[in-house]
Chains A and B, each alone.
Chain A
Amino acid sequence: MEKFDYKELVYSFHKEMLANNFTLVYEGEITHQITKAFTSLTENKMDSYSEDANMKKKVFHVMVECLQNLSKHAEDIRILKDKGYSGSGIFIIGRVGPDNEDYHVLTGNLIENSRVPELTEFLDKINNLDKNGLKELYKKQMREATLSEKGGAGLGLIDIARKTGEKLDYNFIEIDEKKSFYTLRTKISRKHQSNNI
């Protein structure tokens, strides 16, 4: 029988989480119930840090949209019907900054390679817009785009950029000729608190 050193693994996960200030790490299918559980868990945790209401609202907003994006991409993965990858995505929330005053949400999920250019173009478009440009793009998408069964229409990503005032930090790791792993990091920074993004 294969020797499985769980204690080393558990201990190393524990250390990694503490070292990176991750408060929540999850890999798997994202459902509505999970979204509710994660947001409420995070809200409770933020209450324990006496986090201010505006910051809590922004983190909640970003979490909901990121989780919704993951659940939507999960559909694509099911269509791919690849047995090798059971997870629908990874979701991480952690604290960051010199005094742990900021938060970041990290997500990762598989996507079809064919979708990479289109998504890259959309993310770059968002990153090249200023506050007003983002507002106009949001309005345009709301008017013109149609919602898929799971929502979407690209509104989530635009909204994240607007609410956080930060660029969307993304990457694609090509896995094989069919799939890539798409990662997105969103920072919710205190420095944007006062200027109402």
Chain B
Amino acid sequence: MEVIKIRGTEDTPDVFIDAKNGVFEFSGRSLPEDVLSFYATILQTIEEYIQRPNPRSEVIFRLDYFNTASSKMILDILIYFEHLSKEGHEVLVKWFYHADDEDMEEAGEEYFEIVDIPYEMHSY
């Protein structure tokens, strides 16, 4: 699989996917005009990846802002990796939030209440 790099804009996140090395990274802001179409390719890539995963997968979120429609997409991403983790593959999710951004910290904690997956919280 090729490396996927989507450069972020003021309303779409930076996306970096290196399937060969099992690295998935999302950063910036997410309030796309069409949430479903923006995340469709990403979700499809992840769906393909979990068929033939790297022994170790790392998923990094470093978001400043996401709207509620994107929050559902983020959950969908996490659920794919939850499957992978349940199948016995090594998965680690790193949730980064700005030190004074309690909402983003809480959002991360909420995801890990829903999704059963190894994770780390990091403030920056």
Binding site for B on A (CB under 8 A): 32, 36, 53-54, 57, 60-61, 64-65, 68, 135, 138-139, 142-143, 145, 147, 149, 151-153, 155-156, 158-159, 163, 196
Contacts and interface: CB of A to CB of B under 8 A. Distances in A.
B2 interface: no
A142 B72 contact: yes
Interface in B16-67: 31, 33-36, 65, 67
Nearest to B114: A139
The dominant DSSP class at the A interface is: helix
Contact of A145 (B31, B72, B100, B106): B72
Contacts of A57: 65, 103
Contact of A142 (B67, B106, B114): B114
Nearest to A149: B36
B113 A155 contact: no
Contact of A68 (B67, B72, B75, B110): B67
The dominant DSSP class at the B interface is: helix
Given A57-B103, A155-B71, A196-B102, A147 B36 contact: yes
Contacts of B106: 196
Interface string B63-84: 0010111011101000000000
A68 B67 CA distance: 10
B87 interface: no
Contact of A64 (B10, B31, B72, B103): B31
A68 B71 contact: no
A156 B68 contact: yes
A143 B110 contact: no
B116 interface: no
Given A36-B11, A139-B113, A139-B114, A68 B69 contact: yes
A151 B65 CA distance: 16
B35 A36 contact: no
Contacts of B73: 147
A135 B72 CA distance: 14
A164 B114 CA distance: 23
Contacts of B10: 36
Contacts of A64: 31, 67
23 contacts: A32-B11, A32-B33, A36-B10, A36-B11, A53-B100, A57-B103, A61-B65, A64-B67, A65-B67, A139-B113, A142-B72, A147-B69, A147-B73, A151-B35, A151-B68, A152-B69, A155-B69, A155-B71, A156-B67, A156-B68, A159-B68, A163-B103, A196-B103
